[in-house]
A and B are shown apart, each in its own frame.
Chain A
Amino acid sequence: MNAADSPLAARPAVQLVSGNHACALGAVAAGCRFFAGYPITPSSEIAERLSRALPEVDGVFVQMEDELASMAAVIGASMGGVKAMTATSGPGFSLKQENLGYAAGAEIPCVIVNVMRGGPSTGMPTRPSQADIMQSRWGSHGDYPIIVLTPASVREIYTETIRAFALAEKFRTPVILLYDQAIAQLTETVQLGDGMPCAERLWASGAREAYRPYAAAPGAVPAMARPGDGYRSHTTGLNHAEDGFPTQHPETVERNLGRLLTKLDSHLEEIASWECIDCEDADVLIVAIGISARASRRALEQCRSRGLRVGLFRPLTLWPFPENALQAAAAHARSVLVPELNTGQLRLEVERLLGRDRVAGLHRIDGEPIAPEQIAARAESLAKGTP
């Protein structure tokens, strides 16, 4: 495609858009050319935007019969070699887990947006929540690797959508973009053209006889065969050998599953991303994502203006969790506060890394975001040693 043909070309470089709109813009900029979805609040704007934008760049939009089918169609398109995405919210995210597990196991790149709303079940469709933190990591059955990114502003939704595609393609994995309803429907400016360039998938090359679809060194990413290129390979959700065919041979399963499960860990430096604000001298370290991180940022300023040494650690890559970075940031903190819109999912991970003694939670599940004042008050009492 010629740059002048791009739907982005005619538009101003800085735009005032909603979070979901920024996601659609980021997807097109990243080279996404296939979207399959199913209507669900509060993510539908992404589908609506892309239903218009994709045909303009020779892409395809399709609204499928259900959430399962939209996830399946996205994987089907990606198996065909096209960058593909879907978007949903909690109830739909539950349904997507079946095929998401397939993409993780068969190593098919794809991007899944989950705009978090309340739960369980239908929950509160128009209210923010952060209660899918654990589902985004462990939602499908079995052990599998996955990348989850958590932008906290509209601009970051744009850049993280682009990064999601880059990581998905490079590491042949599903990447989940996890943000809450509040940011999805917030309006802020976006600088178009920001974000990393999107890497191309590693495609099989060379002789067909020598190609083995899942042959790669431990922790490495195998080259993928594009249908039509003459490799005629097999892809399955069954445990498979290097040749792509099913196997139950214990050593072969161990070797191949082992490679899959360490694939992301062995590239942690490239995948991990986080933000540290005033962590160096912090007595109280706040750990938060999304809308809660924004409120924490304000709380931090309030606390600092009162002379309290408060810092903020914000994971942008939520899974795999930036373990070393958090441990370094919290090295000197006496207390760690985890404000989140659930009953302690992020806190569980923070406790796992830092121990339970100095970690406190601040939770809200009534569909309202946590106010900066609430966080500041809690941080202040922790700083003064009066929990």
Chain B
Amino acid sequence: MIVDSAPAFDVREYLRKEMMPHFLCPGCGHGIALRALLWALHELKVDKDKLAVVSGIGCAGRLSAYIDASTFHVTHGRPLAYATGLALARPDLRVVVISGDGDCLAIGGNHLIHACRRNLKITCLMLNNEVYGMTGGQVSPTTSEMRVTTTTPLGNSEPHFDACALAAAAGAGFVGREGTRHVPKLAELMLAGLEHPGFSFIEVLSDCTEIFGRKNEMGSSSEMILRQKSELRPEAYRDTVDTPFRANELPTGVLAKNARPEYGAAYRKAAAAIKAAAAKKGRK
């Protein structure tokens, strides 16, 4: 259990001190998500030298720079595609992707569904704060209906994306969701995702306090966390689409799991067979 070892975990061991203070707004949920990730990595005793973190563009994308590992802050929406090359070329590394809802579902949506389908060992965290925070608060594919953003002044009338349903339908080996309201639970979910042998997708419900919260009069960051505790965004899941993950209450925890073969291992196995056949042919 992750909670038991809490005292042994010192987040500073995994952070780049030279990058402090960080650039996140006070109360931003992304810092909580980062702490949960580092905690899970600590529990797994991951060697920092063998850890590669790839992130996209946006507030979530900036998190990689704070982690004391080999870190790659790449182009908008493409971290999964970069990570695919890295993980295939270097199966000895542990590859973690940090993305946001715009990065992962809008501009990078195609890469997400194919990463789920391919099932290469990558742990993908999608930090969902319902908004494009870094660019000033525009509507995103996960903005709840009727929420106000800088590009939906009348309230958002597009239905939001259920990222977990999408990932599961596309074949991701591990799919889970948790909010920043519960750090040990979140860290535990991340730990389970990191331990999964194939592709794992974890949606983290995070709060953009300064932009989204302010615009929608959701109160202080602690009020936003309390709101998570009491209702966990029910307004986001009130529509009528009938999918497994859209009941009245937003489900959290592990939502889907399968044991499909991990792509990299399957590829190397097939390659070894080709080489063996070629060697046999050469001997004749």
Contacts and interface: CB of A to CB of B under 8 A. Distances in A.
A82 B70 contact: no
B75 A80 contact: no
A79 B89 CA distance: 9
Interface stretch (A60-68, A304-312, A359-367): A60-68
Contacts of A229: 49
A102 B275 contact: no
Given A228-B92, A236-B72, 17 more contacts: A5-B275, A55-B267, A60-B88, A68-B81, A72-B81, A72-B85, A73-B85, A75-B74, A76-B83, A81-B90, A228-B49, A232-B71, A234-B64, A235-B72, A245-B18, A246-B65, A246-B73
Interface string B74-114: 11001001111111111011000000000000000011011
Give the residue among A66, A232, A246 with the most B Cβ atoms within 10 A. A232
A56 B84 contact: no
B61 to A, nearest CB: 10
Contacts of B82: 72-73, 75-76, 79
Interface string A1-40: 0000101001000000000000000000000011010000
A55 B114 contact: no
Contact of B72 (A74, A79, A82): A79
A232 B270 CA distance: 32
Contacts of B75: 72, 98-99, 102, 237
Nearest first, the 3 closest Cβ-Cβ pairs linking A and B are A76-B85, A73-B85, A55-B271
Contacts, number: 148
Given A76-B85, A80-B85, A69 B78 contact: yes
Given A76-B82, A231-B70, A69 B110 contact: yes
B73 A228 contact: no
Given A69-B78, A76-B54, A227-B90, A236 B85 contact: no
Interface string A238-262: 1000010110000000000000000
Contact of B93 (A62, A227, A230, A236): A227
A47 B114 CA distance: 19
Contact of B89 (A68, A69, A76): A76
A10 B279 CA distance: 11
A192 interface: no
B227 interface: no
**What range describes how many residues of B lie at the interface?**
35 or more
B48 interface: yes
A102 B88 CA distance: 20
Give the residue among A64, A76, A245 with the most B Cβ atoms within 10 A. A76
B22 interface: no
Interface of B: 16, 18-19, 48-50, 52, 54, 64-65, 68-75, 78, 81-90, 92-93, 110-111, 113-114, 267, 270-271, 274-275, 278, 282
Contacts of A237: 73-75
16 contacts: A34-B89, A55-B274, A60-B267, A75-B74, A76-B54, A76-B72, A77-B88, A80-B86, A84-B89, A99-B78, A102-B75, A227-B70, A230-B49, A232-B48, A232-B69, A234-B16
Contacts of A81: 89-90
Contacts of B50: 227-228
Contact of B85 (A65, A84, A232): A84
B162 to A, nearest CB: 21
Contacts of A5: 275
Give the residue among A60, A78, A246 with the most B Cβ atoms within 10 A. A60
B23 to A, nearest CB: 10
Give the residue among B50, B70, B78, B93 with the most A Cβ atoms within 10 A. B70
B111 A236 contact: no
Interface in A39-93: 55-56, 58, 60, 62, 64-66, 68-70, 72-82, 84
A75 B87 CA distance: 12
B177 to A, nearest CB: 24
A39 to B, nearest CB: 15
Contacts of B72: 76, 79, 234-236
A302 interface: no
A73 B73 contact: no
A3 to B, nearest CB: 13
Contacts of B93: 80, 227-228
A177 interface: no
Given A55-B270, A73-B82, A76-B85, A64 B90 contact: no
A225 interface: yes
Contacts of A78: 85, 89
